[in-house]
């Protein structure tokens, strides 16, 4: 840079147009925009000899980056059961009471002995015999309380 004005122009161009888009986990193939906050800018001029011979302009930019934390990638068993309880809102508006659920919904996999997906609980084989790669159906049981 020939002068400090050129350095300031380059700095403004860089800060205004910079966007951190980062691939966080290779296996997910997802890019995340990382917010970057410029917290301070300092410039320092260092002269070697007199003012006309040699000058160094040092820019120090301090950033704060907001990021994400990801836990380790592990292989876990597939979730085969989902149990949900639905509660009716109390008439008195007091949600602190230990009310019984108004309805219970249970969902689990269904597969016949012939390998066909099923939604009927009486036709399914035991859940321990159903693999994650099988083409299984969903059995939904709704129980009123």
User: What is the mean predicted confidence (pLDDT) over 4-16?
Assistant: 63
Is the Cα torsion angle 65, 68, 71, 73 positive or negative in sign? Answer: negative
Q: What is the pLDDT of residues 55-74, one digit of tens each?
A: 777 878 787 877 777 777 78
Assign residue 99 a region (left: φ > 0; alpha: ψ between -120 and 50; beta: otherwise).
beta
Distance CA 62, CA 81 (A): 49
Inform me whether the pLDDT recorded for 21 exceeds 60.
Answer: yes
Please provide the average confidence, as pLDDT, over all residues in the chain: 79
pTM for the full predicted model: 0.46
In the chain the first and final C-alpha atoms are separated, in Å, by 77
- Check residues 136 and 90 and name the one with the higher pLDDT: 136
Cα–Cα–Cα angle for 56, 6, 59, nearest 5°? 45
Domain locations along the chain: 4-65, 82-144
Find the mean pLDDT for residues 1-11.
Answer: 62
């Amino acid at each position: 840079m020939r002068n400090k004005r050129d350095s300031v122009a380059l700095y403004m161009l860089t800060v205004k147009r910079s966007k951190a888009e980062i691939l966080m986990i290779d296996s997910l193939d997802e890019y995340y925009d990382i917010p970057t906050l410029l917290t301070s800018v300092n410039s320092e001029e260092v002269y070697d000899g007199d003012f006309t011979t040699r000058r160094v302009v040092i820019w120090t930019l301090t950033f704060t980056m907001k990021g994400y934390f990801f836990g380790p990638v592990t292989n876990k068993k597939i979730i085969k059961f989902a149990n949900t309880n639905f509660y009716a809102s109390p008439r008195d508006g007091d949600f602190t009471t230990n009310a019984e659920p108004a309805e219970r919904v249970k969902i689990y996999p269904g597969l016949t002995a012939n390998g066909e997906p099923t939604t009927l609980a009486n036709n399914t084989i035991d859940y321990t015999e159903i693999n994650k790669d099988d083409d299984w159906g969903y059995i939904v049981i709704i129980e009123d309380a």
